[in-house]
Structure 1
Amino acid sequence: MQHTHTYKRHRPEQTLLYQLVERHYPEFLKQVGHQGKSLPHHVEKEFEEFLRCGRLEHGFLRVVCDDCKHEKLVAFSCKKRGFCPSCGGRRMAESAKLLIDDVLQGYPVRQWVLSLPIPLRLLLALYPKHLSKVMQIIHRAIATNIIHRAGYLKKQAKTGAVTYIQRFGSSLNLNIHFHMLFLEGVIIQKRERTSFKRVKAPSHRDIECIVHTISHRIATYLEKAGLIQRDMDNTFLDLPMDDEDSLLPLQAASVSYRIAVGKDAGKKVFSLQTLPAKDFDNYGQLAKIAGFSLHAGVFAYADQPDKLERLCRYIARPAVSEKRLSLTTTGNVRYELKTPYTDGTTHVFFSPIDFVSKLAALVPPPRLNLTRFYGVFAPNANVRAEVTSSRRGKNSPRLAEHLKDSDRPYHARSMTWAQRLKRVFNIDITVCEACAKTNVKIIACITEVAVIEKILKHLDKQDPPIIANTCRAPPLIESKQLIPVNDYEIQRDFDFGAQKHYH
């Protein structure tokens, strides 16, 4: 029997991320207001709901064991998509489970990662309605290459993909890029039966041809849409000069690695180099053209569900990692990069106010679907019900009362709260930690303020006051100072050029 951990309520008010937002978000709003602008409603709501997430004062569930009467209180979550690590972790686990169990099960899968030039990241953040067309261009180019490498025409075979739109980079910068899980092969339909044919891995030349096609078609589309203008020598973005709210300058600063607010606004973000620089040329399954970067070096076989689930979790991960967040002795925010940059940069630093501005720039607009299904996995695909284990699709068989349970098509459902806890944290909430029995159930949902205060006071469960955070970074080193022993260097005006490979 696998060991599970005992449930212990997450206290967000004791995390550094929560404290930074709670203390500095009001000041950030004041600075935005001094400019005569205001944040969009969905961004303000993201911050407000984050400050309520996991707090018992804003409502909770009462969970009681029927055997020993042991009781626990479970706070509500914000369920937002911006920067909440807790809700992002639960969503990550549920998305990975859905893909493994219902969509990609039994197929070899390759990850294709496309990064865009810095100007196009800002353009697509400002005009999210054009994302769908851009993603169709990308999917069509890669799918066509896979079908042709399999020896078929587009009318004879199809492939499928699941795409995640990631809006964040390793340094909390706004970086819209795409993680695509493509079938490493094609689906062939003959006489109402489907079969799968695998293809060989793409060569460097294949990837170069694909990224060249993608860059040309995206530029052509954006020019026809009136979003860019080109002459003989230059290309210009058609951005609004007078924005009604303050989100555009925040996004522009975030996407270009610059400080958005405060006395140093417009300067490059302070960075720390602790590793020697490396040359990163085009080779293997990586190709770069005109700021576009396409990588296809990660592959999972059909009999590697664990590896595929780790890959799905990686591409669906939250934007902010609390483990890599800390404070310096001077009160600045220090954030460690998940993967060092090619020049050796491993950390970036923000003032608390500028850190809040970086969070605001990462909030996705409402009603923007960040997960897309293409090809045979698309909701309206004719063969979707045949190639996926969930058997849901355009031509899926309808349920009939006379069918046995074993004959009915499987329909996936969202994971319950208890299932998410068990999958993410290996915690089984249905088991009582006092008597180790499974007779635990929810007896009430408490949302009224007067009742909340009365219960918390009676049970003496009121949250303790915010304590000083102990997550502190090593002392800052003077700018441009060299330490010969470790070959460390801090570079204030670091050039994050578009020609470098960032994710």
Structure 2
Amino acid sequence: MTLIQRFGSALNLNIHFHMLFLEGAIYENSWGGTTFTRIKAPCHNDMVELVHTISHRIARYLEKVGLVRRDMENSYLNLPVDDEDSLLQLQGASVSYRIAMGPQQGQKVFTLQTLPAITEAEYGQLANTSGFSLHAGVFANADEPEKLERLCRYISRPAISEQRLSMTQHGKVRYELKTPYRDGTTHVFFSPVDFIGKLAALIPPPRLNLTRFFGVFAPNSNLRAQVTASQRGKNSPKLVNIRDEHLDKPYHARSMTWAQRPVTGESERVFNIDINECEKCQQHNVSIIACIADIHVIQKILKYLDKKYPTTKQATLPPLRAPPDEEHDFTIQHNFNFGA
């Protein structure tokens, strides 16, 4: 699985890839089962050769699509910088740690160095060349599920951590780095307007999938059911004889309508509510009979419910309000936020 991350620790635009993969290969053997063959970890020379190959392939691709122009002496970007509707100005300032907006536009972002500088030599599964870096030194054994979970949480963390975000007495936005830089930098400071510009530069383009699946764990893999504990996927032995409750025919992969998604997805996973279950008889006998999208019809239905169920303590429909009342006990959880 690959997660495309667009941000650095200082809220700078830094596109990089976090990849989870097996240290080996799974293939189907001759007797219908699967066999896993482990490979040894790469050495430093292997990493240098690999990052060199990756950097050249990326450069050739960017040149092929017209984003990079190359002449006899140097290479340069070919981007529509004068386009007023694009975010290239904000993205360029974010990449180069520059201030994008305000009277100090073009200057370096103000940083705070509270630790002594350190030198870090290249070693092991780490390589740097031509501005590209590659690291493959983090791994989890089969008997270390907690370590694998921490790794998954780290690579899927959000762009910003509220625990490390604060305001100074002078109205500046102060953001603490998750890991100090080698020169001792621990904090960066932005004006409120430039802070919004930094966040805007991190927004991915529309219709861009930032999570990619590949190999035997991909949803469309023929071997996924044989190598996963849930045995879900194509050719799953658990789903051979299962009958669909509503259609009364063998299970088959099908897409859900937009009306079915909140019923079977968000309501059950987030709120622990099964909308298909009747409140009185506790049976799964509730089904979608209509999809009402006309705003006038919706308003008529809501007015009727307001008349039938007035706003009282025993009312079926609660009154419309914004934040929850203090008398209710809500527990808020922030998943994948590791700023502490």
Q: How many residues align?
A: 274
For residue 351 of structure 1, the aligned residue among 181, 191, 200 is: 191
The one-letter amino acid of 1:461's match is: D
For residue 187 of structure 1, the aligned residue among 9, 14, 26 is: 26
Give the secondary-structure state (helix, strand or coil) at the position aligned to 2:319: helix
Distance in 2 (alpha carbons) for counterparts of 1:393 and 1:174? 36
Matched, 1:176 2:33: no
Give the secondary-structure state (helix, strand or coil) at the position aligned to 2:21: strand
**Worse-matched range after superposition: 332-341 or 224-233:** 224-233
Q: Which residue of 1 aligns with 2:286?
A: none
Q: Which residue of 1 aligns with 2:241?
A: 400
* Alignment CA distance shift 1:400-1:171 (3 Å): same
Q: Contact 1:456–1:462 (CA<8 Å) still a contact in 2?
A: no
CA displacement, residues 130-155 of structure 1 (integer Å, 9 cap, x when unaligned) = xxxxxxxxxxxxxxxxxxxxxxxxxx
The one-letter amino acid of 1:400's match is: N
The one-letter amino acid of 2:325's match is: K
* Alignment CA distance shift 1:385-1:267 (3 Å): same
Q: Which residue of 1 aligns with 2:74?
A: 234
Q: Contact 2:177–2:188 (CA<8 Å) still a contact in 1?
A: yes
Give the secondary-structure state (helix, strand or coil) at the position aligned to 1:250: helix
Q: Which residue of 1 aligns with 2:155?
A: 315
Q: Which residue of 2 aligns with 1:286?
A: 126
Written as runs of structure 1 = structure 2, the 5 A alignment for 1:295-334 is: 295-334=135-174
CA displacement, residues 386-435 of structure 1 (integer Å, 9 cap, x when unaligned) = 223343445446543479xxxx99x9x987567558xxxxxxx79xxxxx
Give the secondary-structure state (helix, strand or coil) at the position aligned to 1:196: strand
Distance in 2 (alpha carbons) for counterparts of 1:394 and 1:200? 30
Q: Which residue of 2 aligns with 1:268?
A: 108
For residue 455 of structure 1, the aligned residue among 319, 329, 333 is: 319
Give the secondary-structure state (helix, strand or coil) at the position aligned to 2:225: helix
Distance in 2 (alpha carbons) for counterparts of 1:326 and 1:248? 27
User: Displacement, 1:185?
Assistant: 1.2
User: Displacement, 1:379?
Assistant: 3.6
**Worse-matched range after superposition: 378-387 or 249-258:** 378-387
The one-letter amino acid of 2:37's match is: K
Matched, 1:365 2:205: yes
User: Displacement, 1:316?
Assistant: 0.5
* Alignment CA distance shift 1:460-1:252 (3 Å): closer
CA displacement, residues 192-243 of structure 1 (integer Å, 9 cap, x when unaligned) = 3211122222211121111111111221222222221222321111211331
Q: Which residue of 1 aligns with 2:85?
A: 245
Distance in 1 (alpha carbons) for counterparts of 2:172 and 2:20? 38
The one-letter amino acid of 1:243's match is: D
User: Displacement, 1:163?
Assistant: 0.6
Written as runs of structure 1 = structure 2, the 5 A alignment for 1:400-419 is: 400-401=241-242, 419=269
Question: What is the aligned-residue identity percentage?
Answer: 63
The one-letter amino acid of 1:198's match is: R
Q: Which residue of 1 aligns with 2:64?
A: 224
Written as runs of structure 1 = structure 2, the 5 A alignment for 1:121-140 is: none
TM-score relative to the length of structure 1: 0.49
The one-letter amino acid of 1:329's match is: Q
* Alignment CA distance shift 1:401-1:337 (3 Å): closer
Gaps of 5+ in 2: 245-250, 255-260, 274-281, 283-297, 312-316, 328-340
Distance in 2 (alpha carbons) for counterparts of 1:359 and 1:460? 28
Distance in 1 (alpha carbons) for counterparts of 2:124 and 2:175? 31
Q: Contact 2:81–2:89 (CA<8 Å) still a contact in 1?
A: no
* Alignment CA distance shift 1:294-1:401 (3 Å): closer
Written as runs of structure 1 = structure 2, the 5 A alignment for 1:456-495 is: 461=325
User: Displacement, 1:293?
Assistant: 0.3
Q: Contact 2:224–2:232 (CA<8 Å) still a contact in 1?
A: yes
* Alignment CA distance shift 1:333-1:385 (3 Å): same
Q: Which residue of 2 aligns with 1:128?
A: none
CA displacement, residues 419-469 of structure 1 (integer Å, 9 cap, x when unaligned) = 558xxxxxxx79xxxxxxxx9xxxxxxx98997998268x99399xxxxxx
Distance in 2 (alpha carbons) for counterparts of 1:419 and 1:258? 41
Distance in 2 (alpha carbons) for counterparts of 1:267 and 1:338? 23
Distance in 2 (alpha carbons) for counterparts of 1:240 and 1:402? 55
* Alignment CA distance shift 1:180-1:454 (3 Å): closer
CA displacement, residues 56-89 of structure 1 (integer Å, 9 cap, x when unaligned) = xxxxxxxxxxxxxxxxxxxxxxxxxxxxxxxxxx
Q: Which residue of 2 aligns with 1:167?
A: 6
Q: Contact 2:225–2:231 (CA<8 Å) still a contact in 1?
A: yes
Distance in 2 (alpha carbons) for counterparts of 1:362 and 1:239? 18
Distance in 2 (alpha carbons) for counterparts of 1:360 and 1:331? 20
Q: Which residue of 1 aligns with 2:226?
A: 386
User: Displacement, 1:265?
Assistant: 0.8
CA displacement, residues 369-398 of structure 1 (integer Å, 9 cap, x when unaligned) = 111112223344332332233434454465
Q: 1 or 2, which has the higher strand percentage?
A: 1
Distance in 2 (alpha carbons) for counterparts of 1:333 and 1:455? 37
Written as runs of structure 1 = structure 2, the 5 A alignment for 1:68-79 is: none
The CA RMSD over aligned residues, in Å, is: 3.4
Q: Contact 1:324–1:337 (CA<8 Å) still a contact in 2?
A: yes
Higher RCO (CA < 8 A, seq sep 6+) = 1
TM-score relative to the length of structure 2: 0.71
Highest Rg: 1 or 2? 2
Distance in 2 (alpha carbons) for counterparts of 1:305 and 1:416? 26
Give the secondary-structure state (helix, strand or coil) at the position aligned to 2:183: coil
Give the secondary-structure state (helix, strand or coil) at the position aligned to 1:338: coil
